[in-house]
Amino acid sequence: MRFEMEKPQPRQREFMTAKNRFIAYGGARGGGKSWAVRKKAVLLALNYSGITILILRRTFPELRSNHINPMLGELGEVVSYKELDKTIYFPNSSRIIFGYCDCDGDLRRYQGNEYDVIFLDEATHYPYEWFVALTACLRGANSFPKRFYLTCNPGGVGHEWVKRLFVDRNYKPSENPDDYLFIPARVYDNKALMDKDPEYVNMLKNLPDGLREAWLDGSWDVFAGQFFPEFDRDVHTLEAFEIPKHWRRYFVMDYGLDMLAGYWIAVDTYGRAYVYREIYEPNLVISEAAKRIKSLTGEEIHAWYAPPDLWNRRQETGRSVAEIFAQHGIPLVKASNNRVQGWLDVKEWLKPFKDEWGKPCAHLRIFKNCKNLIRCMPLLQFDEKNPNDAAANPHEITHAPDAIRYFAAGRPIPADMPHIYDEEEPREYEEQVNGFLSFGV
């Protein structure tokens, strides 16, 4: 069978010729992703007789308009399509199966099946657990290539895991970095679209903040639905420096067996807070968590903030987390768990302003060594049912922001100004030296 197609754009060619196991193509809108998916699927079906290919989207109407109808129009009567099983059959026994997956029940239809190649269209619409379940279907006792293709735009429930794997390239020990490839796509890369519809770019430029950066520029740090659009790495993060001794220190945490997210925060005399140390560790029982925090703390802590649920008594021991922490020398202070008010407080801390030298600043800034907090803050999304609250899922990214919410709810107070002695005030030489040293002069 002879198949003719238009010449792909450079980024589309990269996507179609890549040999990695997991290949993600996306970023901005208008990058020609759907076209690349259709052409690559057909080429694979023609080149490998008997191959089984799955193309997934959230809903069937999206599948029909974006893939099935265009593909049937291009292939004509050479192939056959069966509506009942939503499959295109090729004369060489290859087949392209079209599937939709909008809930856990839909996902179960694919578990246990074998596919040689899977295309997950608009991957950021899927939670990470669904992606993992689908990767288990990528198998077969044959010589066909086993590849998983993804297309994606910033935003959505899957934003965090797509960004981690393909943009940040932050891998777990079980993940091989060589398996993953990200091909960024912007509307400017799609010359065919630019020639046919030049006004499309102007439409993207006129989008509101968040959508514009995501859909036009392909930014993975700013996207629609972002709970903290004010978060700016250039403003809210900075290199570590030595904290003056007279600044007031706080510790705040969100604790569960799945994750301990704890932060040491210093507040200066102007009321500005600096998150300077982080602990972000899973699978620590209560006593282990307390010992771990204590081992990392060498300075005096003014208050140890924690959520109210840590005062609940546990059925297995009859003691609360707060009691066990107190036994290890950490007297926890109960912070308010009013979510809406807490998030409003955090937004006030993040609100940018100009400092004394006219440079962008904020009342809450984060040392760059606190990598998980910096990663999670911009990923937090709005709750779909309550626009004043943040989403509780994906749960992995909520621990660090929740800890900062408890800090804001704790109403930390600024440090006292160090006492500066008048030159004429009498005191012993030894007192002068010790005083200067204690204030870091």
pLDDT in tens, the chain (441 residues): 555 667 888 888 999 999 999 999 987 655 578 889 999 999 999 999 999 999 999 889 989 999 999 999 999 888 999 999 999 999 999 999 999 988 878 888 898 899 999 999 999 988 888 999 999 999 988 999 999 999 988 877 888 899 999 999 999 899 999 999 999 887 666 666 556 666 766 666 676 665 566 666 667 876 767 899 899 989 999 999 999 999 999 999 999 989 999 999 999 999 999 999 999 999 999 999 999 999 999 999 999 999 999 999 877 778 999 999 999 999 999 999 999 999 999 999 999 999 888 999 999 999 999 999 998 998 888 887 888 999 988 788 899 999 999 999 988 888 887 765 554 444 443 444 344 334 333
Answer whether 68's CB lies under 8 Å from 80's CB.
no
Integer angstrom CA distances of residue 19 from 49, 149, 163, 171: 19, 10, 20, 19
Residue 223 lies in a domain: no
Q: What is the CA radius of gyration of the chain?
A: 27
Question: What is the number of structural domains in the chain?
Answer: 2
Residue 187 lies in a domain: yes
Residues 385 and 257 in one domain: yes
Integer angstrom CA distances of residue 68 from 60, 82, 378: 10, 11, 36
Residues 188 and 311 in one domain: no
For residue 333, give the 3-state DSSP assignment.
strand
Residue 279 lies in a domain: yes
Residues 20 and 60 in one domain: yes
Domain CATH for 95 = 3.40.50.300
Please report which residue ranges of 206-269 form alpha helices under DSSP H.
211-215, 233-236
Which domain covers residue 196, as residue numbers? 10-215
CA-CA-CA-CA torsion sign (417, 418, 423, 424): positive
Residue 121 lies in a domain: yes
Nearby residues of 14 by Cβ (< 8 Å), 6 or more positions away = 183
Nearby residues of 142 by Cβ (< 8 Å), 6 or more positions away = 50, 116
For residue 75, give the 3-state DSSP assignment.
helix
